[in-house]
Amino acid sequence: MFRRFAVAGVSLAATIGAAALAVAPTAAATPRTHPPHSAISTGQTVSGAPATAVNGPSVPGTSAADAPDVDVAKVQAHLTELNAIATRNGGNRKSSGQGYRDSVAYVKNKLQAAGYTVTEQPCTSGCASGAGPNLIAEWPQGDATKVYMFGSHLDSVGAGPGINDNGSGSAALLETALTLAEQHPAMAARVRFGW
């Protein structure tokens, strides 16, 4: 089963398909400002004309409909593994525990195997004492001055495995990143994922 995921009212598949999968812009291209979220999600600009790629030219024959589908069964498999990690670690993946560190390792290994540049970033603001690192994965193609970033939190509360908050978001984000990598697209902008 395949679905396109919507996060905060913006379809990741449509955003990536329309904005980041475009071939690199030419020197003559004039960057545009971002349209409102409603324009991105509906494929229309404020004027009602069809939307084109953000921060780059439109690519003939490319539309948001060309964005790859994300396999829900693969999302479920990631979610099952996050739950198993919690089960092996006292029933949770809280940021200061081994369950979180094991979750980071799981996601990091998947992303590195897919070709992402992955870094761990110490949590320095608003973190629990002893919190594990944030994980940043960047697709190594596209203009580094134009970055689209999508994120989700990978930890849980101490009282449970965090499957709905936010294992489901983390699993969907991971599979979206892996689906993008499978396409090996020519990128006009960088795409970065954070947990």
Q: Tens digits of per-residue pLDDT, 89-109?
A: 999 999 999 999 999 999 999
Q: Please, which pLDDT band fits residue 9 given cuts at 50, 70 and 90?
A: very low
Q: What is the DSSP string of 113-128?
A: HHT-EEEEE---SSPP
Domain with 48 in it: what CATH number? Answer: 3.40.630.10
Which pLDDT score is estimated for 10? 33
Which pLDDT score is estimated for 88? 97
Q: How many domains does the chain have?
A: 1
Q: What percent of the chain has pLDDT over 90?
A: 58
Dihedrals phi, psi of 134, to nearest 5 degrees: -80, 155
Amino acid in position 15: T
| Coil/strand/helix, residue 145 | strand
* Under 8 Å between Cβ of 101 and 132: yes
Q: Where are the beta strands (DSSP E) in the chain?
A: 2-3, 6-7, 10-11, 70-71, 117-121, 134-138, 143-151, 189-194
Query: pLDDT by residue (tens digit) across 31-86?
Result: 334 334 333 333 333 334 443 333 444 445 556 667 779 999 999 999 999 999 99
Please state whether the peptide bond connecting residue 166 to the residue before it is cis, i.e. omega within 30 degrees of 0. Answer: yes
Query: pLDDT by residue (tens digit) across 157-167?
Result: 999 999 999 99
Which pLDDT score is estimated for 73? 97
Token digits of residue 43: 């494929």
Which pLDDT score is estimated for 62? 57
Q: Which domain holds residue 46?
A: 2-194
Q: For residues 159 and 130, give the distance between their C-alpha atoms in angstroms, rounded to a whole number.
A: 17
